[in-house]
Amino acid sequence: MLIHRSSVVEDVMRDWPATIRTFLDFQLACVGCPIATFHTVADSCQEHGIEEATFVAALRAAVVRAVDQGCLPSGACSASITS
């Protein structure tokens, strides 16, 4: 899943748990928020006054780091699959 401005926040966090730290780093308390089911990344940025391009880039960087560590979408990591 490539993260876009139109990606739903809950889907991003569910598919790539490594992005949760990025949401928290940007002071977004989206984890457990009922609005995360409906808000897109763009909605969240607009609502909280965050520069969208910077935030999307940070989310994508978190995904790249997770993949580099062997993690797959939904948080499964190759190390945990083989052990």
Give the model confidence (pLDDT) of 4-15 as tens digits.
Answer: 999 999 999 999
Which one is predicted more confidently, 1 or 83?
1
Q: What is the pLDDT of residue 83?
A: 35
Quote the pLDDT of residue 70: 87
Q: What is the pLDDT of residue 80?
A: 44
pTM as predicted: 0.86
Tokens of 83: 């052990």
pLDDT at 60 exceeding the cut of 90: yes
Instruction: Break the chain into its structural domains and give their ranges.
Output: 9-82
In the chain, what's the furthest Cα-to-Cα distance? 43
CA–CA gap between residue 58 and residue 34 (Å, rounded): 23
